[in-house]
């Protein structure tokens, strides 16, 4: 191959490569990928409008016995779904704020003051690697002693702490990439260390904080194990626990469950879409030599 | 405005001595440059002045006030950073206004001062643009704008133009110098580039290996280098050096080596009368104080031509002495010489320096070693 052909991503004369790089191949691959992601959702949507008997009898994707919309009404009537979604939203938003409130100054301290030396960063990652089930019993005991079982506050605390390592991990690289001279300039110009963190560093690492927050919120929204252990009633059940409550006289009500599950996707998608606006990348580039 | 003084200032990082017993005084409104190669301690010095670094020992004074323990924000200094440290999320106006907004000045006053600074630095057309897409020269002017907008007592500049390309650098050098002298603010200018220091500073402190080597005006340092380091560091092309031995013959002093024998006269001879040190010397002479002469004589060194470099207005001839030492000789423009041609190099006695080969001190300044 001569140098002139280098920019061309489609190598000449090789049939396999030509097929690999062809526009149609790419299109097909994208469709396959999209289908594998969307199929379960489509399946769930069609299940939510099937008659219960049809769900048990046939595995077909599309309803064959006509459209049955009653699942949707029953999903809200038989289980306090709105309450669960409300609980989930409160827990996800509040625990995320809690995690960020601790993670931002903690990460700043780890990066700029080397707090905890080499040990703390690996310890933080270590706590996240550990399977949550391992600590489920002590967590339950501790929560009970604190009198926080079956409360939203208990779950908020737990989710906040459990997601802290993720937040620290994500924010770390943002603070590291910030030239320290930007802070020193602010000290010289009249800010103290804390004001500099608040008014100079945080605005500059906002994309990192927002993305860490989004991840924390999604993790909290989907969290099942701790919610299962720590909540006993509608007061504190979250959405994932709620889904498992669709039991009727004839076993699990898959149609209602599908309707509820689809509903549960919506709030978290709205929240993430809302915060995506603040994900403006590359804010830290260009202000210093480079 | 304020003077800045270092009194026996030391800085250690663990066992590493970054600054050792530094003493100097930068007068009020003076343009004072700290010059030295990388790792010489100039950046540590600057960071101690700014309060970004603790002082291990000694005193730093602004006028008569010891500022050792003052936080950066309480020192009324302004700083231009090596990488300019502009806030990428702010406009040009907001970057310059930052120190005023931090001090919560009324917005009408902020507006007035920022506009004056922008006008002064020719930045008015960029008022509302972000700083990201701007050229190096523009960013540099914004950084200066932010530094001068609130009338600091001391303006500190850390290699502010080292990262500009050569043409722009020489233009910014002139611009910066005239801006600063117009402001009349005490300026500490840190650089590794001797051309910058020589061109801009009222006085220069030269540092090497954590120690102040010499403090003086550019011309003083150029003509009266206190030691071999200063002599070699200042001047482009650099000074020529050769090993030699001090020999006394018939009451006269001679600098003798296997390739030359030169009579030591004038000030150097006076200084050598009281000289008690080693007889091993280093002869130093700048290329401009050497010339090619047709006849060999008392003050000449014989050599062969190694290389000729024409620069248009003058030429530089690299010659090799018989013991292999290399000298650079300034010659007239377009001088015609063959490689390996025998030549005689005359050293101007008045501008020839002798350094103690053991401690590197210029024998003219031996007494000042312990001041």
Question: So where are chain B's domains?
Answer: 4-223, 233-370
How would you class B98 by CB atoms within 10 Å of its CB: exposed for 0-12, middle for 13-18, buried for 19 or more?
Answer: buried
- CA separation for the pair A80, A126 (Å, rounded): 38
Q: Is the Cβ–Cβ distance between A176 and A170 less than 8 Å?
A: no
In terms of CA atoms, which chain A residue is nearest residue B104? A190
Helix (H) or strand (E) run with residue A193 in it: helix A193-196
* Candidates A185, A192, A200; nearest CB to B81: A185
- CA separation for the pair B160, B81 (Å, rounded): 6
- CA separation for the pair B328, B315 (Å, rounded): 10
Cβ distance of B73 and A189 shorter than 8 Å: yes
Provide the shortest C-alpha distance from residue B84 to chain A (in Å): 6
Summarised one tens digit per residue, pLDDT across range A105-119 is 999 999 999 888 888
| Interface check A177 vs B, CB under 8 A | no
Q: Is the Cβ–Cβ distance between B207 and B42 less than 8 Å?
A: yes
- Whether the CA torsion A123, A125, A131, A136 is positive or negative: it is positive
Cβ distance of B131 and A192 shorter than 8 Å: no
CB-CB neighbors (< 8 A) of A278 in chain B: none
Task: Examine residue A288 and state whether it is found in any structural domain, yes or no.
Answer: no
**Would you state the structure tokens that stand for residue B168, as one six-digit string?**
């722009």
Give the mutation candidate from A186, A188, A206 for the B interface (greatest B CB count, under 10 A). A188
Tell me, what's the pLDDT at A3?
42
Cβ distance of A190 and B77 shorter than 8 Å: no
Cα B14 versus chain centre, distance: 28
Q: Is the Cβ–Cβ distance between B176 and B141 less than 8 Å?
A: no
Residue A221 sits in a domain whose CATH number is 1.10.3720.10
- CA separation for the pair A247, B304 (Å, rounded): 104
Q: Is the Cβ–Cβ distance between B303 and B327 less than 8 Å?
A: yes
Provide the shortest C-alpha distance from residue A207 to chain B (in Å): 12
**Would you state the structure tokens that stand for residue B237, as one six-digit string?**
């092309």
| Interface check A285 vs B, CB under 8 A | yes
**Would you state the structure tokens that stand for residue A160, as one six-digit string?**
């906040």
Cβ distance of A289 and B132 shorter than 8 Å: no
Helix (H) or strand (E) run with residue A70 in it: helix A70-78
Tell me, what's the pLDDT at B278?
81
Task: Examine residue A167 and state whether it is found in any structural domain, yes or no.
Answer: yes
CATH fold of B233-370 reads OB fold (Dihydrolipoamide Acetyltransferase, E2P) (2.40.50)
Summarised one tens digit per residue, pLDDT across range A161-203 is 999 999 999 999 999 999 999 999 999 999 999 999 999 999 9
- CA separation for the pair B341, B335 (Å, rounded): 13
- CA separation for the pair A225, A221 (Å, rounded): 12
The per-residue DSSP string of A85-139 comes to: HHHHHHHHHHHHHHHHHHHHHHHHHHHHS-TTTTHHHHHHHHHHHS-GGGGHHHH
- CA separation for the pair B259, A263 (Å, rounded): 96
Place of tokens 């306090």: A80
- DSSP-derived 3-state class of residue B35: strand
ipTM for this prediction? 0.84
Task: Examine residue A34 and state whether it is found in any structural domain, yes or no.
Answer: no
Place of tokens 């702010």: B90
CB-CB neighbors (< 8 A) of A186 in chain B: 98, 102
**Would you state the structure tokens that stand for residue A211, as one six-digit string?**
């993305």
Task: State the total domains in chain A.
Answer: 1
Say which residue, A248 or A13, is predicted with more confidence: A248
Q: What is the pLDDT along chain B (371 residues), one digit of tens a residue?
A: 799 999 999 999 999 999 999 999 999 999 999 999 998 999 999 999 999 999 999 999 999 999 999 999 999 999 999 889 999 989 999 999 999 999 999 999 999 999 999 998 889 999 899 998 898 889 989 999 999 898 899 999 999 888 788 888 888 888 888 888 888 899 999 999 999 999 999 999 999 999 999 999 999 999 999 999 999 999 989 999 999 999 888 888 889 998 898 888 888 888 887 777 788 999 999 999 999 998 888 778 999 999 999 999 999 999 999 989 999 999 998 888 999 999 999 999 889 999 999 889 998 887 654 44
**Would you state the structure tokens that stand for residue B48, as one six-digit string?**
């101690």
Note down the domain range covering A193: 80-244+266-276
Rounded (to 5) percent helix, strand, coil in chain A: 70, 0, 30
Cβ distance of A181 and B50 shorter than 8 Å: no
CB-CB neighbors (< 8 A) of B75 in chain A: 188
Cβ distance of A287 and B132 shorter than 8 Å: yes
In terms of CA atoms, which chain A residue is nearest residue B135? A289
CB-CB neighbors (< 8 A) of A289 in chain B: 82-84, 136, 139, 163
Task: Examine residue A54 and state whether it is found in any structural domain, yes or no.
Answer: no
- Which neighbouring-strand residues pair with B327? B319
Tell me, what's the pLDDT at B367?
63
Place of tokens 């994932």: A240
| Interface check A200 vs B, CB under 8 A | yes
In terms of CA atoms, which chain B residue is nearest residue A290? B83
Tell me, what's the pLDDT at B370?
43
Nearest-5° Cα angle at B254, B250 to B257? 135
**Residue B64: how many other CB atoms lie within 10 Å:** 8
| Interface check A111 vs B, CB under 8 A | no
* Candidates B73, B75, B131; nearest CB to A287: B131
Cβ distance of A288 and B133 shorter than 8 Å: no
- CA separation for the pair A218, A271 (Å, rounded): 9
Summarised one tens digit per residue, pLDDT across range A24-77 is 888 999 999 998 988 988 999 999 999 888 888 877 888 888 888 899 999 998
Tell me, what's the pLDDT at A279?
66
Place of tokens 């910058």: B196
Interface of A with B in 244-283 (CB under 8 A): 283
Q: Is pLDDT above 60 for A283?
A: no
Residue among B89, B12, B82 nearest B48 (CA): B12
* Candidates B50, B103, B130; nearest CB to A188: B50
In terms of CA atoms, which chain A residue is nearest residue B146? A189
Cα B71 versus chain centre, distance: 29
- DSSP-derived 3-state class of residue A237: coil
Task: Examine residue A60 and state whether it is found in any structural domain, yes or no.
Answer: no
DSSP state of B363: G
Summarised one tens digit per residue, pLDDT across range A215-242 is 999 999 999 999 999 999 999 999 999 9
Cα B177 versus chain centre, distance: 15
Summarised one tens digit per residue, pLDDT across range A122-155 is 888 888 888 889 889 999 999 999 999 999 999 9
- CA separation for the pair A18, A13 (Å, rounded): 8
Q: Is the Cβ–Cβ distance between A189 and B78 less than 8 Å?
A: yes
**Would you state the structure tokens that stand for residue B213, as one six-digit string?**
């080597």
Average pLDDT over residues A267-284: 71
CB-CB neighbors (< 8 A) of B132 in chain A: 285-287
* Candidates A189, A285, A290; nearest CB to B98: A189
- Report chain A's mean pLDDT, rounded to a whole number: 86
Q: Is the Cβ–Cβ distance between A185 and B68 less than 8 Å?
A: no
Determine if the pTM surpasses 0.95. Answer: no
Task: Examine residue A21 and state whether it is found in any structural domain, yes or no.
Answer: no
Place of tokens 């700048």: B286
| Interface check A21 vs B, CB under 8 A | no
Q: What is the CATH number of domain B4-223?
A: 3.40.50.300
């Amino acid at each position: 191959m001569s140098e002139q052909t280098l920019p061309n991503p489609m190598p000449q004369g090789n049939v396999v490569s030509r097929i690999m790089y062809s526009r149609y191949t790419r299109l097909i691959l994208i469709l396959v990928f999209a289908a594998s992601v969307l199929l379960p959702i489509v399946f769930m949507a069609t299940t939510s409008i099937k008659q219960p008997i049809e769900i048990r009898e046939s595995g077909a994707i599309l309803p064959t016995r006509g459209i049955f919309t009653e699942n949707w009404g029953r999903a809200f009537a038989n289980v306090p779904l709105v309450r669960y979604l409300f609980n989930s939203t409160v827990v996800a938003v509040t625990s995320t704020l809690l995690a960020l409130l601790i993670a931002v100054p903690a990460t700043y301290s780890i990066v700029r003051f080397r707090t905890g030396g080499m040990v703390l960063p690996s310890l933080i990652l270590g706590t996240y690697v550990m399977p949550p089930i391992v600590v489920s019993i002590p967590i339950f005991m501790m929560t009970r002693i604190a009198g926080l079982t079956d409360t939203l506050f208990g779950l908020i605390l737990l989710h906040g702490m459990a997601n802290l390592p993720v937040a620290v991990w994500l924010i770390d690289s943002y603070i590291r990439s910030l030239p320290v001279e930007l802070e020193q300039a602010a000290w010289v110009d009249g800010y103290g260390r804390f004001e500099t963190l608040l008014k100079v560093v945080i605005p500059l690492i906002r994309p990192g904080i927002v993305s860490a927050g989004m991840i924390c919120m999604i993790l909290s929204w989907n969290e099942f194990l701790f919610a299962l252990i720590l909540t006993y009633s509608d007061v504190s059940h979250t959405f994932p626990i709620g889904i498992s409550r669709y039991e009727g006289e004839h076993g699990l009500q898959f149609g209602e469950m599908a309707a509820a599950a689809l509903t549960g996707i919506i709030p978290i998608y709205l929240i993430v879409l809302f915060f995506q606006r603040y994900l403006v990348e590359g804010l830290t580039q260009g202000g210093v030599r480079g | 405005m304020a003077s800045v003084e270092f009194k026996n200032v030391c800085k250690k990082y663990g066992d590493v001595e970054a600054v050792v017993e530094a003493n100097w005084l930068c007068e009020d409104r003076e343009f004072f440059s700290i010059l030295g190669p990388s790792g010489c301690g100039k950046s540590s010095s600057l960071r101690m002045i700014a309060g970004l670094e603790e002082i291990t020992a000694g005193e730093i004074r602004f006028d008569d006030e010891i500022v050792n323990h003052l936080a950066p924000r309480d020192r009324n200094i302004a700083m231009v950073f090596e990488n300019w440290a502009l806030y990428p999320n702010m406009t040009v106006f907001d970057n310059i206004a930052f120190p005023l907004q931090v001090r919560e000045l009324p917005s009408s006053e902020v507006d007035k001062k920022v506009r004056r600074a922008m006008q002064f630095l020719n930045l008015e057309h960029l008022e509302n643009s972000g700083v990201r897409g701007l050229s190096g020269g523009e960013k540099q002017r914004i950084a200066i704008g932010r530094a001068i907008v609130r009338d600091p007592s001391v303006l500190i500049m850390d290699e502010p133009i080292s990262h500009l390309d050569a043409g722009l650098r020489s233009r910014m050098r002139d611009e910066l110098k005239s801006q600063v002298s117009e402001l009349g603010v005490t300026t500490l200018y840190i650089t590794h580039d001797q051309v910058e220091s020589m061109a801009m500073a009222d006085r220069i402190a030269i540092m090497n290996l954590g120690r102040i080597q010499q403090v003086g005006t550019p011309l003083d340092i150029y003509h009266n280098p206190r030691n071999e380091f200063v002599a070699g560091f200042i001047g482009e092309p650099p000074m020529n050096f050769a090993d030699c031995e001090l020999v006394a013959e018939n009451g006269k002093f001679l600098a003798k080596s296997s390739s030359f024998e030169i009579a030591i006269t004038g000030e150097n001879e006076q200084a050598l009368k009281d000289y008690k040190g080693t007889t091993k010397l280093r002869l130093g002479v700048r290329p401009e104080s050497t010339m090619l002469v047709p006849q060999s004589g008392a003050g000449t060194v014989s050599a062969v031509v190694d290389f000729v470099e024409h620069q248009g207005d003058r030429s530089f001839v690299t010659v090799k002495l018989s013991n292999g030492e290399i000298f650079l000789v300034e010659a007239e423009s377009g001088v015609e010489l063959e490689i390996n041609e025998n030549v005689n190099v005359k050293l101007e006695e008045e501008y020839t320096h002798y350094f103690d080969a053991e401690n590197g001190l210029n024998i003219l300044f031996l007494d000042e070693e312990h001041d």
